[in-house]
C-alpha cells in the first residue's frame, strides 16, 4: 500500500503560510499577485464574491465534498484556525446551496477569514449585511444534505487551479488567486515592484507623457505585424 493511500480522509495538522506574509499579501490586489506568479493561480471567473467590497487574505483549508452535501464543510469549520480560508471543491454543482447565513455567522465567530466554494450558496442578503467574504459559483435556495463523506486538507482542484492545504489565498472584486505556500514570501517584493511600475505608468498616461506602452512597437515587430525598423 502506498503512503498516499494510507493518509486519513481528515488531516488536522497542516503547515501554514507565515501570518506576516499573509498580512502583507492582503495589501495587494489579487490581479497583482496573479501577475507576479506568472499569470497563473487565479480561479475561474465563475467563482466570484457575493459583494464587490468583499476582500480577504488567508491560508487554505481544503475541502472535497460530494455535490449538494456539506458535511465536510462543517468538519472543516471545526478544525479551522483564525485566519484560515475554507476552500471547497463543490464540483461546480449549483443544484443546492452548500452554505448560508448560519454557517457564515459561525465562520465569523470562529475567526475564519473567508470561504471560497466552487458551488452554490444562499442567504446572500444576510451574508452581505454580515460582511463575511463569501466567494461562490452561484446561488440556490435549496439546502444541502449532511451525510456524504469527503476529505479535508488533501490537494483539491477548484476553478481550474490546484490548491494544497496551507497555500496563500487572496480574494477581492476581481476574484481569487492562490499562491503555493513555499512561493508566497518570495512574491511579495515582486508585487511591490509591480505596483510601483503600474503607478508610474498611470501617472505617465494622466500627464500624457506616454500614452502608449514603451514595449508596443517591439511586440508588434516580434509578432510580425510590423516590419523590422517600422513603428506605429
List the binding residues for substrate. Answer: 100-103, 122-123
The cell for 33 is 499577485
DSSP per-residue letters across 203-214: HHHHTTS-SS-T
Nearest to 15 by CA among 184, 222, 231: 184
Give the 3-state DSSP-derived string for 76-138, with helices as H, strands as E and coil as C.
HHHHCCCCEEEEEEEEEEEEEECCCHHHHHHHHHHCCCEEEEEEEECCHHHHHHHCCCEEEEE
Report d(CA 56, CA 216) in Å as an integer: 35
DSSP state of 40: -
- Buried-exposed string 94-103: b where 16+ CB fall within 10 A, e elsewhere: bebbbbbbeb
Minimal CA–CA distance to 83: which of 37, 25, 33, 31? Answer: 25
Element housing 69 (H / E): none
Say how many Å lie between the first and final Cα of the chain, rounded: 64
Cell readout for 223 is: 509578432
Residues at the annotated binding site? 100-103, 122-123
Amino acid at each position: 500500500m502506498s503512503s498516499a493511500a494510507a493518509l486519513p480522509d481528515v488531516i488536522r495538522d497542516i503547515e501554514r503560510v507565515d501570518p506576516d506574509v499573509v498580512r502583507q499579501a492582503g495589501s495587494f490586489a489579487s490581479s497583482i499577485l496573479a501577475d507576479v506568479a506568472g499569470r497563473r493561480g487565479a480561479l475561474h471567473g465563475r467563482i466570484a464574491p457575493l459583494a464587490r467590497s468583499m476582500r480577504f487574505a488567508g491560508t487554505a483549508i481544503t475541502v472535497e465534498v460530494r455535490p449538494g452535501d456539506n458535511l465536510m464543510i462543517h468538519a472543516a469549520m471545526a478544525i479551522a484556525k483564525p485566519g484560515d480560508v475554507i476552500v471547497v471543491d463543490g464540483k461546480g454543482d449549483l443544484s443546492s446551496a452548500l452554505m448560508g447565513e448560519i454557517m457564515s455567522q459561525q465562520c465569523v465567530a470562529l475567526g475564519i477569514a473567508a470561504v471560497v466554494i466552487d458551488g452554490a450558496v444562499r442567504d446572500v442578503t444576510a451574508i452581505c449585511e454580515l460582511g463575511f467574504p463569501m466567494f461562490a459559483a452561484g446561488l440556490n435556495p435549496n439546502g444541502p444534505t449532511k451525510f456524504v463523506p469527503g476529505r479535508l486538507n488533501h490537494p483539491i482542484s477548484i476553478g481550474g487551479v490546484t490548491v494544497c492545504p496551507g497555500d496563500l489565498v487572496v480574494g477581492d472584486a476581481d476574484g481569487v488567486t492562490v499562491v503555493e505556500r513555499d512561493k508566497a514570501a518570495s512574491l511579495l517584493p515582486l508585487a511591490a515592484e509591480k505596483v510601483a511600475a503600474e503607478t508610474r505608468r498611470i501617472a505617465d498616461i494622466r500627464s500624457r507623457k506616454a500614452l502608449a506602452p514603451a514595449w508596443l512597437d517591439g511586440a508588434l515587430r516580434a509578432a510580425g505585424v510590423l516590419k523590422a525598423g517600422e513603428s506605429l
